[in-house]
Copies of this chain bind each other. A is one copy, B any other.
Amino acid sequence: MNDAPIGIFDSGLGGLTVASEIVRALPHESILYVGDTARCPYGPRSLDDVREFVLQIGSWLAGKRVKMIVIACNTGTAAGLVAAQRTFDVPVIGVVAPGARAAVQATCNRRVGVIATTGTVESGVYSDAVRALDAGATVFSVAAPKFVDIVEQGLHMGPGTVEEWIADSSDVFVRPAFYEIAREYLDPLKRAGVDTLVLGCTHFPLLAPAIGQVMGRKVRLISSAQETAREVAGILGARKWLASKDNVPRHHFFTTDDETEFARLGSVVLRKPIKSAEHLPVSELEAMTIPPMRAEVAAPGLEEEGVACN
C-alpha cells in the first residue's frame, strides 16, 4: 500500500506544476499522471461533462490501485471533487481548498485576489473556500483566460529542450504584449488593494515571476501547486501511508493525445525530463465502469443507539 503510486490528473499539461511540487516535496513517492490532452481545455465545457471526465479518469486510476487521487485542475475540482470523494474509496483532494487556506493564512489586510479561468471564477469555488475559513475576507476574482493561451503558446514556442526553453522563457514573457494583457487583468486587483493573489489555474505558476513583477513585491503570490503538495504530504503522513525511504519511485505519464508531444512539452512544465509518455485512448476512459456513489447518510440505524449520524 505505502509504495503504491499517487494518482494525479488534469485536462492537460498544467497539472504537471502540481506533480512537480509533489515530486519535490515527496521524493520517495511514485506518481501516475494522466493528462487528458485530447479533451483539453475543460474550461469551456459544461460542469456535468467535466464531472463525468473526472469520474472516468478517477475510475481508471483507482483500477491502477493508486493510494490517493489529486485532481490537479481547477475546473475539474470545481466540477467533480465532491462526486469523486463520494465515489472512490481512496482519499481525493483538489487544488482549491489548499490554495484558499494558504491565502487566508497569508493575507494581512484580508483582501484576496484570485486569477483563474472563466469557469473557475464563475463557479465561485475560491471565494466560497476563502470565506469558509475567514468570513471577513473579501475576494476579488478575475478571469484570465489569455494567461492560459500565453502559457500554451510559450510552451509551443520553446526551442525544444527543457534547458533551452527555461533559459529563454524570460524573453517569451518579457514581450510587451504580455505586459499589456497582464496589466489589463491585474491593474484592477492592484487598485482593489489585494495583498495576496491566488494563482487559481495550474498553468499560472509558470507565469509567476512575470505576474509578480506586475503586482509588485508586496503582493504575496499563492500557488495552489505548492499548497496541494503540502496537503498530500499531510494526508499521507497522518495516515502513515508515506512510501518507504528505500522505495524506488516511478513516474508514469499517460496522455489521451500524442505521447511524443506530451513528453516534450510536459518536460518543460514538470521541469524534469519526461523520457516517455504512454497513450491512453479516450475510448478506454469512456468505457470505464464508474462505481456507485456512497449514500449521503450511512448507517442511519445508529440513531437508535443514541448516535447522531450526519
Contacts and interface: CB of A to CB of B under 8 A. Distances in A.
A280 interface: no
Contacts of A86: 135-136
Contacts of A110: 91
B309 A91 contact: no
A81 interface: yes
Contacts of A2: none
Interface string A222-251: 000000000000110111010000000000
Contacts of A306: 142, 188
A298 interface: yes
Contacts of A124: 310
Chain A at the B interface: SS class: mixed
A267 to B, nearest CB: 32
A133 interface: yes
A138 interface: yes
A167 interface: no
Given A127-B310, A307-B188, A87 B238 contact: no
Contacts of A309: 138-141, 192
A189 B142 contact: no
A140 B307 contact: yes
Q: How many copies of the chain does the oligomer comprise?
A: 2
Contacts of A106: 238-239
A235 B83 CA distance: 31
Interface string A104-127: 111110100000000001001001
A288 interface: no
A217 to B, nearest CB: 14
A165 interface: no
A105 B107 CA distance: 25
A45 interface: no
Contacts of A188: 302, 305-307
A97 interface: yes
A300 B234 CA distance: 37
Given A85-B135, A138-B299, 4 more contacts: A81-B135, A91-B134, A138-B298, A189-B307
9 contacts: A85-B134, A86-B135, A92-B134, A92-B136, A108-B241, A138-B294, A140-B302, A188-B307, A192-B309
